[in-house]
């Protein structure tokens, strides 16, 4: 019998929502209090609100520049501002959140200050990554990273500045042809798709693995002449070896493709951005955790994992090479 193409999930077996999946996982952890589950639920509600706004672009007045620059000196889009406000309001309402830090806010926002705040978390996020793609209906996304809060730290920075290896959860939401929520809590990577008729994220793949090899690279080749020499040699080698080039210019969309199909994503140092363009704490770290949990690799340079970098500033930038393990090795071999 052929599957009904209009049915929400056309395979047999239990229907699992993001919420029930998180609760199931929580029940496996001895002593878990449910705090993290509440935070993940606020991220899922934020994702649905933002997805709805993104889908209404050009119908509602949500496109275009908001008229201000963010902390990086970049033009804020109206939807950056809206998405940031949604996340701040939702996360701010959760007891378990001590501090949030966003690409759109220069300083971390302290939500709860009491020193007895044991068992609370810090949430870092890029509310709408790749927002310059909005005007052309391109894929954009929300990226998040969750760390344990240190209530004894001298200040917010002291609690936040932890290496990516300390993340307890990380993920992204891709607002593309469908809305996809990809999550790790350190036990593999699970993928959910928003069923708009039901209003819930449905589990579509558990324990996602990125292919070990795939002859494809993803980089802004317009900057090629200003890449360090090793990257240019790698690109010569990849092109001589018949590799394909795929680049959306929206990290969530590019990394999502690599997670599912394999390949390597790079944002090297350039003349314009000598330390790399991408932000360590809320772009590179969560993507690195996801990719490693899916069996891939994520480096800042040969032999240096993204997740091992000790941050010194919440908005610091880093070069990134991530994706299929064999493909990351090929890049690293050319960087010497």
Binder of residue 243, out of Mg ion, ligand AHM, none (CB less than 5 to 8 A by kind): none
> d(Cα 40, Cα 294) in Å, to the nearest integer?
20
Nearer to Mg ion, 132 or 226 (CB): 132
Nearer to ligand AHM, 96 or 276 (CB): 276
Candidate segments 48-56, 126-134, 292-300, 326-334, binder of Mg ion by CB under 5 A? 126-134
Q: How many CB atoms are closer than 10 A to CB 221?
A: 13
Binder of residue 150, out of Mg ion, ligand AHM, none (CB less than 5 to 8 A by kind): none
> d(Cα 25, Cα 38) in Å, to the nearest integer?
13
| 82-121 footprint of Mg ion as x/- string (CB under 5 A) | ----------------------------------------
Dmax (CA) for the chain in angstroms is: 63
Candidate segments 55-63, 76-84, 125-133, 268-276, binder of Mg ion by CB under 5 A? 125-133
Beta carbons of 79 and 66 less than 8 angstroms apart: no
User: Binding of Mg ion at residue 190 (CB under 5 A)?
Assistant: no
Structure tokens at 232: 């240019």
Write the CB contacts of 185 (distance below 8 Å, at least 6 apart in sequence). Answer: 22, 25, 36, 168, 169
> d(Cα 1, Cα 17) in Å, to the nearest integer?
26
> Smallest gap, in angstroms, from Cβ of residue 167 to Mg ion?
17
Q: Is 262 left (phi over 0), alpha (psi -120 to 50) or beta?
A: left
> d(Cα 179, Cα 51) in Å, to the nearest integer?
7
The site for ligand AHM (CB under 6 A) is made up of 74, 103, 126, 129-131, 220, 249-251, 267, 277
Structure tokens at 147: 């760390």
Determine which helix (DSSP H) or strand (DSSP E) holds 238, and give its type and residue range.
Answer: helix 229-240
> Smallest gap, in angstroms, from Cβ of residue 120 to ligand AHM?
27
> Smallest gap, in angstroms, from Cβ of residue 286 to Mg ion?
11
237: number of CA atoms within 13 Å, CB side?
A: 13
Residue count, binding to Mg ion (CB under 5 A): 2
Binder of residue 74, out of ligand AHM, Mg ion, none (CB less than 5 to 8 A by kind): ligand AHM
Binder of residue 80, out of Mg ion, ligand AHM, none (CB less than 5 to 8 A by kind): none
Which of residues 77, 91, 97, 129 is near Mg ion by CB under 5 A? 129
User: Binding of Mg ion at residue 126 (CB under 5 A)?
Assistant: yes
Nearer to ligand AHM, 203 or 290 (CB): 290
Candidate segments 48-56, 123-131, 241-249, 255-263, binder of Mg ion by CB under 5 A? 123-131
Q: How many CB atoms are closer than 10 A to CB 123?
A: 28
CA 2 → CA 94, 99, 258, distances in Å?
44, 50, 30
> Smallest gap, in angstroms, from Cβ of residue 184 to Mg ion?
19
Which residue sits closest to Mg ion, CB atoms considered?
129
Beta carbons of 102 and 125 less than 8 angstroms apart: yes
DSSP letter string, 88-110: HHHHHT-TTEEEEEETT-SSPEE
Nearer to ligand AHM, 103 or 190 (CB): 103
> Smallest gap, in angstroms, from Cβ of residue 10 to Mg ion?
35
Nearer to ligand AHM, 70 or 162 (CB): 70
| Residue ranges binding Mg ion (CB under 5 A) | 126, 129
């Amino acid at each position: 019998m052929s599957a009904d193409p209009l049915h929400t999930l056309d395979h047999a077996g239990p229907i699992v929502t993001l919420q029930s999946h998180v609760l199931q996982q929580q029940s496996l952890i001895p002593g878990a209090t449910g705090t993290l589950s509440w935070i993940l639920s606020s991220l899922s509600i934020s994702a649905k609100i933002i997805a709805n706004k993104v889908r209404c672009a050009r119908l509602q007045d949500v496109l275009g520049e908001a008229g201000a620059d963010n902390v990086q000196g970049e033009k804020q889009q109206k939807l950056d501002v809206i998405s940031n406000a949604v996340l701040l309001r939702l996360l701010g309402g959760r007891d378990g959140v001590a501090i949030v830090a966003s690409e759109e806010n220069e300083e971390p926002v302290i939500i709860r200050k009491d020193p007895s705040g044991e068992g609370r978390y810090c949430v870092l996020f890029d509310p709408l990554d790749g927002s310059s793609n909005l005007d052309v209906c391109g894929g954009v996304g929300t990226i998040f990273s969750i760390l344990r809060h240190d209530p004894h730290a001298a200040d917010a920075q002291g609690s936040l500045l932890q290496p990516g290896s300390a993340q307890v959860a990380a993920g992204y939401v891709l607002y593309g042809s469908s809305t996809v929520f990809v999550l790790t809590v350190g036990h593999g990577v699970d993928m959910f798709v928003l069923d708009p008729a039901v209003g819930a994220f449905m589990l579509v793949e558990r324990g996602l693995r990125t292919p070990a090899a795939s002859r494809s690279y993803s980089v802004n080749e317009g900057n090629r002449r200003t890449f360090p020499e090793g990257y240019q040699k790698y690109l010569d080698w990849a092109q001589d070896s018949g590799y394909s080039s795929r680049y959306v210019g929206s990290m969530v969309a590019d990394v999502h493709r690599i997670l599912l199909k394999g390949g390597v994503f790079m944002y090297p140092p350039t003349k314009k951005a000598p330390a790399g363009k991408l932000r360590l704490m809320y772009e590179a770290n969560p993507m690195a955790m996801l990719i490693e949990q899916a069996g891939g690799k994520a480096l800042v340079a040969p032999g240096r994992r993204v997740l091992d970098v000790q941050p010194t500033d919440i908005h610091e930038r880093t070069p990134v090479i991530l994706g299929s393990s064999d493909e990351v090795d090929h890049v690293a071999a050319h960087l010497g």
